Structure 1
Amino acid sequence: MRRSKKERQKLLIEKINENPFVTDDALAEFFNVSVQTIRLDRLELSIPELRERIKNVAEKQFDTVKALPIEEVIGEIIDLQLDQRAISILDIGPEHVFSRTKIARGHHVFAQANSLAVAIIDDELALTAKANVRFTRRVSEGERVIAKAKVLKHEKERTKVEVNSYVEQELVFSGEFHMYRSVKYMQGEKGEHEDSN
């Protein structure tokens, strides 16, 4: 079904609001038009290009990572609310893939998710105690992986973090990370509750 330009542009705004990291190529494929048409639509609608949209999201105020130096986080953190949620993006380049197949090595996708699970912890000490992970589809060179983490629950000195990673809103990896954190934080947070046990 061919949409009118007005309909396409309305839907384009919705798609980009839904996923600010969607590429022009993916949009062109979705709307069954050329990449040039998508670029012209964006220009008319004053929607910045992808790199600019990423920068805008990254410039929004978010918490500072405590548990590890920011340069040790795999991928670029674009949203972080400590002990609540976090998002990072990782562009899969030649250095992340097997040279013959151009498929990403699993440890890079895992490392992005794991370092995000560490980064979300509001403590200077955070270590992965246990992880249950599942790779749901292969990731190829040139794709962008968006990892979304959220804290599920705190228990004693452990915090359970769920991380789901997507390429173009398709789930490629999911993991549940049991993070060890220093006891002093948890005592400060739940001191009375711990003493009563």
Structure 2
Amino acid sequence: MVVAIRRLPKRERQKALMALLDENPVLTDEELAQRFGVSVQTIRLDRLELGIPELRERLKDVARRQLDPIRSLRQDEVIGEIVDLELDRYAISILDIGDGHVFARTGIARGHHIFAQANSLAVAVTDAEVALTASARIRFVRPVYRGERLVAKATVVASDPERNRVRVETRVGGELVFSGTFTVYRAARDAQREAGGIADADRH
């Protein structure tokens, strides 16, 4: 569960709300209400006063942005929906956890879906015709459940002509649920058969 921050005066809350939605426009009113420790109705009133559209309209705005084209993967090979991308800098994707992602008995998401979203985003952000994950150091912070929305952000923290080091943080409603650092190599097409994908993944 997201721990609500200290309740802020209205002016401070609205300022923080604008900053939060600028960074993460896919947060729902319910997630925002929990984040700020107020009612959903209060969040809706804040949005109206600030001229911030509802989630559906914000998603349309994100979709209309001019994204860099993915070079290293086909669109259908990316796990989740990429909503923002600047090659060799950063990328953001969202993944809604449904019945097909979870264990039937517990409703908890299988870890490989969470990892796959982060890994494919680290590859997608890399500016290369062929990009291969060489290593990944990952950490699952807390379980993810059916009905939750994963927002993954990949940031290229180091880059050279041969590889990128990519930090990925995945959140649910602003709460960190997964993090990983990926080393992604830019490979020639004939190296694709030799590399064979992920070389190793160290979980800690």
Alignment pair present for 1:62 and 2:67: yes
Unaligned runs of 5+ residues in structure 2 are 1-5, 190-204
TM-score (normalised: structure 2): 0.78
Structure 2 CA distance for aligned equivalents of residues 13 and 158 of structure 1: 35
Alignment pair present for 1:146 and 2:151: yes
Structure showing greater Rg: 1
Q: Tell me how far 1:67 sits from its aligned partner.
A: 0.6
C-alpha distance after superposition, 1:6-33 (max 9, x if no partner): 6654544344334322211122234444
Q: 1:162 to 1:6 in 2, by over 3 A?
A: closer
Structure having the larger proportion of residues in helix: 1
Give, as a single letter, the amino acid of the residue that structure 1 aligns with 2:21: I
* Deviates further, 58-67 or 33-42: 33-42
Secondary structure at 2:67's aligned position in 1? coil
Q: 1:108 matched to which residue of 2?
A: 113
Alignment pair present for 1:50 and 2:55: yes
C-alpha distance after superposition, 1:34-62 (max 9, x if no partner): 32343343234321111221221232112
Q: 1:103 to 1:7 in 2, by over 3 A?
A: same
Q: Tell me how far 1:3 sits from its aligned partner.
A: 6.4
Q: Is the Cα–Cα contact under 8 Å of residues 88 and 159 in structure 2 kept in the other structure?
A: no
TM-score (normalised: structure 1): 0.81
Structure 2 CA distance for aligned equivalents of residues 175 and 99 of structure 1: 26
Structure 2 CA distance for aligned equivalents of residues 72 and 161 of structure 1: 18
Match among 71, 80, 83 for residue 76 of structure 2: 71
Q: 1:36 to 1:82 in 2, by over 3 A?
A: same
* Deviates further, 148-157 or 97-106: 148-157
Q: CA RMSD in A?
A: 2.4
Structure 2 CA distance for aligned equivalents of residues 3 and 174 of structure 1: 29
Match among 82, 91, 105 for residue 86 of structure 1: 91
* Length, aligned pairs only: 184
Secondary structure at 1:164's aligned position in 2? strand
Q: 1:157 to 1:6 in 2, by over 3 A?
A: closer
Q: 1:85 to 1:7 in 2, by over 3 A?
A: closer
Alignment pair present for 1:123 and 2:118: no
Q: Tell me how far 1:155 sits from its aligned partner.
A: 4.9
Give, as a single letter, the amino acid of the residue that structure 1 aligns with 2:47: R
Q: Is the Cα–Cα contact under 8 Å of residues 58 and 77 in structure 1 kept in the other structure?
A: no
Q: 1:192 matched to which residue of 2?
A: none
Alignment pair present for 1:180 and 2:185: yes
Match among 163, 170, 183 for residue 168 of structure 2: 163
Q: Is the Cα–Cα contact under 8 Å of residues 68 and 119 in structure 1 kept in the other structure?
A: yes
Secondary structure at 1:103's aligned position in 2? coil
Match among 22, 26, 48 for residue 21 of structure 1: 26
Unaligned runs of 5+ residues in structure 1 are 185-197
C-alpha distance after superposition, 1:106-152 (max 9, x if no partner): 11110000000110111111111221111111111222111111223
Q: Is the Cα–Cα contact under 8 Å of residues 161 and 186 in structure 2 kept in the other structure?
A: no
Identity %: 61
